[in-house]
Structures are given as C-alpha cells and as structure tokens.
Chains A and B, each alone.
Chain A
Amino acid sequence: METTVASPPAPAADSINDSLSPNDLAGLTAILAKYPAEKRFSLAILQDLQRQFNYIPEGAMQLVKEHVGTTVGQLYALATFYKALSLAPKGQHIIKLCDGTACHMRGANNLVGEVGRILNIAPGERTEDGLFSLELVNCVGSCALAPVLIIDETYYGKVTMEQLPSIINEYRQPTGGETDE
C-alpha cells in the first residue's frame, strides 16, 4: 500500500529550473502531462526524459518529484540504478557493443578496444565533440549474429575490427547538416 510522504520544505524558486531552457521546460511539461500524478510512474517519466534530452537534467528533478509525489533522493536512486538512465549527456550517436555471452566469445572485447583506438573513448564515455558515446550492453538477443554492434537503432551483425572505421564513418556527419563531398 502506498503511503504519502509529507513534503519537506521546498527550496528557493531560483534553483528549480535554472538549468532548463524555456524549450526544455515545455518538453518536460508535455511529458509530465502524459502521466497521472502517481509515484509508480517515476521510472516511465525518467525514461521519457532520457529519450527527450539524452540524459536526466538535474533541473528537471524538482518538477518530476512534485508531479509524482516523491523525493529527489528517490529519483536519484532510480537514475543511478537503471542503466537505461544517465545523469550525464550521452553522445548524439550511441554506440552499443553487446557483451552477451555469444558476443563476448566472438570477440566483443576486441571491438571495444578498436572503438577505443578510433574514437579515444572507453565504455561509459563520450567523445569531446559530443558526437559519439560508447556503451557495453547486456545481451540484445541476436546471438546468432555475434558479435553485435548497435548504433542508434541500427543493428550490425558479425562485425569485424576491419569494418569498424567505415561503420563509424557513416555517422560522422553531424545530424542536420549537409556536407559536400
């Protein structure tokens, strides 16, 4: 049974949203409007925020907490427990290397090293220009195609180290920009 938490005193108004632009605030409000004001939607709201902003902005925590009736402490616990959520911005393109058993056995480690050599980042890190971030993920269920690499929503199967530079290059154009060849 849910028990209501008596709200602790609210902080000064300035600190609530100062890291959110008016646009961001509008986006956040739209997300909150989709959910009833119940604590059980905390995770779903945070996931929507993650998709919208590519991370959970600190400035969003106060509004989320007030909407669902929880504490920033609890929201922070959720954000650090669930790997789908991140507190620091991810790259524009997220490179996920599957480290499931089949992929591990077929050399996922070598691919990690190779991506590291090409982009100079380790799992959990983002490139300086913000274009790419790298993650090692749990089995994605495409084991027959090991080793598997996913960039954004696109799956690449049976990836070899030689293929990595050209695969990554497909994403090098910053999104929205036209480049001349």
Chain B
Amino acid sequence: MSQQLTITIDGKQCTCEKGEYLLDVAKRNGIFIPTLCHHEGLGGIGSCRVCICEVVARGRSQVVTSCIYPVEGEIEVFTKNERIKEQRAIILALLHHLAPASETISQMAAFMGADLPRLADKEGGEKCILCGRCTTACEQIGTGAIAKCGRGVTKEIATPYHQPTAECIGCAACANVCPTGEITCEQTDESVTIWGKTFEYLRCSCCGEPFATREQYEFAASKRHLPADPDTAAATGQDPEPLCEACEKRATAQRLAKNSIQFVVEP
C-alpha cells in the first residue's frame, strides 16, 4: 500500500500517492500545465521542458519537468510564477524558431508572450520540435525503424541513411502522435505512404474494410506467435485470416462461446 502525501500546488492542497508524477497530480486537481512531449499513452519524455514547475522542498528550490517528476515528499509547487513564466516563454520562443512552420507552436508561443525577433529560424526548419514522441512510439509499439540521429544542434529524426527503410511497417503511430504535424502520411483506401515508402492495406476478410498494412499485420502476428502470412493461412486452411480489430473481437467471442466456457449470469 503506497504512502499518501499532501502537497501544495499554486497554493492548493492536493493529495497523491508517493511516486506519482507531478503532472498527473496537478491534472487531477484541475491545475493545467502545458505540455508537448508528454503523451497519454506513452507517458512523459522530459525533452520539450514546457511542463516545468518550480518545486520547493526542504528549503531548496529546483525547476523540474512535471511529466516525469515523481512526488516523493511534501513539496510546494509553483506552476506559473514569474520564474516559470519567463522560462516557459523562452522555451516556446526557442521552439518557434526551431519550427517556424508550425501553427501549433507559434500559437503557443504567442499565448505565453514569447517574442524574441533577434533569434534566428533554423535553416530548413519546418515543424519538427524534436520532442521524441514519434521515436518513442516507434520503439514501444512499432519496430524501432526511426530514431533520433546525430547529436546536439544536428539532431534530427530520420530513417537510416534518410532512405525508405525495410523496418518501417507503415503503422503510422509516429504520425498519429506528432504534435505539430511534421510527419505526414498520405492515406487512401488502398495504401498509405509514409517515410518515403508506400504500403498496401490489407482488407479484413470479414467486413472487407482496409485496416492495416501487410507488414503491420505480420509484425503484430509475430508478437503473438501466430502464422503471419494471410495468403498461406488461407491456402492451408489454417486460422487466422486477416481480421480488423472489430471483427477479431467478434470472432474471439464466438470462439469462446463455442468452446463451452460457461458464463454465469446473475439473475
């Protein structure tokens, strides 16, 4: 059983469990902290630094990123005092000049009063803010096909050799989580093109809807230790045939029912 703590955020008393992330505690108590690299499904990364707060504990103060800061004691937190507002504004100004083409960032920057015309736009900078959400998604739920390459001011998100890569399965998780729309994918009913490669969609053998690329399907199947190739499966009469998520659920439910698993239904 975890230890309960009481902390103060912007003067408001909040309870939490020891080890909870500060961002989550704030959110639960209706205190808004802006974020960029944090994603509900992937957690915090700590790279954008937009979610910074000042934390005072045992007489010492430090600036921390609330998305990955675990609350360990009875701390006092300031999410928007002068120090934090100034630093957040500088960070947004820096991001704006890194990604001048991003509407999202320029709006955020304007909202936070970040205006430093003496700063220079990054050459060739478009919308990427190097938050790392895409590579985190690719590593955690995809294949690890894209990565953060280079170092320091030359850091960039890329496929190996900036060429289409055999490791990309066209799942588009990266595009889905990109906060600024830098990663684009062109989707039709038949195909999706992303990172320079075009993938054909498989159609659900039940409802006929396009639902995943062949490569994505095979990857998911390999994770579940099932035969991957739907064509072979069909030819040999083996399960499974490619099914979209909805049809897969229905098929599973039917299989469970058929196999005489009794469900006791309360009268």
A binds B: yes
| A interface residues with partner B (beta carbon < 8 Å) | 5-11, 15, 58, 61, 70-77, 80-81, 87
Most A CB atoms within 10 A — which of B138, B147, B218? B147
A76's closest neighbor in chain B, by CB?
B160
Please name all residues of chain A whose beta carbon is closer than 8 Å to the beta carbon of B218 when the two chains form the complex: 9
Bound CA–CA A74/B143 (angstroms): 10
| CB of B223, distance to nearest CB on chain A (Å) | 4
Would you call B215 and A9 a contact (CB within 8 A)? yes
Known A-B contacts A8-B215, A8-B219, A11-B166; the reply to A73 vs B150 at CB < 8 A is no
The answer on a CB contact under 8 Å between A8 and B169 is yes
A73 and B151 within 8 A (CB): no
Chain B residues lying within 8 Å of A80, measured Cβ to Cβ, are: 149-151
A77 to B149, CA, bound (A): 5
A73 touches B159 (CB 8 A): yes
Q: B150 contacts A5, CB within 8 Å?
A: no
- Chain B residues in the interface with A (C-beta under 8 A): 138, 143-151, 158-161, 165-167, 169, 215, 218-219, 222-223, 228
Cβ-defined contact, A81 with B166, below 8 A: no
9 example contacts (A-B, Cβ-Cβ < 8 A) are as follows: A7-B222, A10-B166, A61-B160, A71-B144, A71-B167, A73-B145, A73-B146, A73-B159, A77-B148
Taking a contact as CB atoms under 8 Å apart, the answer to whether A74 and B144 are in contact is yes
* Contact between A8 and B149, CB atoms less than 8 A apart: no
- Extra A-B contacts (13), CB below 8 Å, given A9-B169, A71-B143, A72-B145: A5-B143, A6-B143, A8-B145, A8-B169, A9-B215, A9-B218, A10-B166, A11-B166, A71-B144, A73-B143, A73-B159, A80-B151, A81-B149
Contacts of B215 in A (CB 8 A): 8-9
CB-defined contacts of A77 to chain B, threshold 8 Å? 147-149
- A9→B221 CA distance, assembly (Å): 11
Nearest to A72 among chain B residues (CB) is B160
Could you tell me if A76 and B144 are in contact, using CB atoms closer than 8 angstroms? Answer: no
CA–CA, A6 and B140, complex, Å:
11
Complex contacts, A8 vs chain B, CB 8 Å: 143, 145, 166-167, 169, 215, 219
For residue A71, which residue of chain B has the nearest CB?
A: B144
Contact at A76–B145, with CB atoms within 8 Å?
Answer: no
In the complex, A119 Cα to B147 Cα: how many Å? 36
> B166 touching A76 by the CB < 8 A rule?
no
Please, which residue of chain A has its CB at the minimum distance from the CB of B215? A9
Distance of B220 from chain A, by nearest CB (Å): 9
Contact A73 B147 (CB under 8 A): yes
Residues of A within 8 A of B228 (CB): 9
Query: Are B144 and A70 in contact (CB-based, < 8 A)?
Result: yes
A76–B144 alpha-carbon span in the complex (Å): 11
Measured in the bound complex, the distance between the Cα atoms of B160 and A87 in whole Å is 11
Write out the residue numbers on chain A whose beta carbons fall within 8 Å of the beta carbon of B147. 71, 73-74, 76-77
Cα A87 to Cα B163 with chains together (Å): 14
By Cβ-Cβ distance, the 4 closest A-B pairs, closest first, are A77-B147, A76-B160, A11-B166, A71-B144
Contact yes or no, A73 B165, CB < 8 A:
yes
Within 8 Å CB of A9, what residues of B?
Answer: 166, 169, 215, 218-219, 222, 228
A81 to B167, Cβ gap below 8 A? no
Contact of B219 (CB < 8 Å), options: A6, A11, A76: A6
Whether A6 and B222, one on each chain, are in contact in the complex, defined by CB atoms closer than 8 angstroms, is yes
By the criterion CB–CB under 8 Å, are A71 and B145 in contact?
A: yes
- Does B161 contact A76, Cβ atoms closer than 8 Å? yes
Q: How far is the CA of A61 from the CA of B166 in the complex (A)?
A: 12
C-alpha spacing A81/B149, complex, angstroms = 6
- Inter-chain contact A81/B144, CB cutoff 8 Å: no
Query: Considering the chains assembled together, what is the distance between the CA atoms of A77 and B150 in angstroms?
Result: 7
Q: Which residue of B lies closest to A7 (CB)?
A: B222
> Please, how many angstroms separate the alpha-carbon atoms of A75 and B223 in the complex?
22
Assembly CA distance A17 to B136 (angstroms): 29
Q: How far is the CA of A70 from the CA of B167 in the complex (A)?
A: 11
Docked CA distance A61–B165 (Å)? 12
Partner of B167, one of A15, A58, A73, A87: A73
A residues near B145, Cβ cutoff 8 Å: 8, 71-73
Interface hub of B145, B151, B159, B160 (most chain A Cβ within 10 A): B160
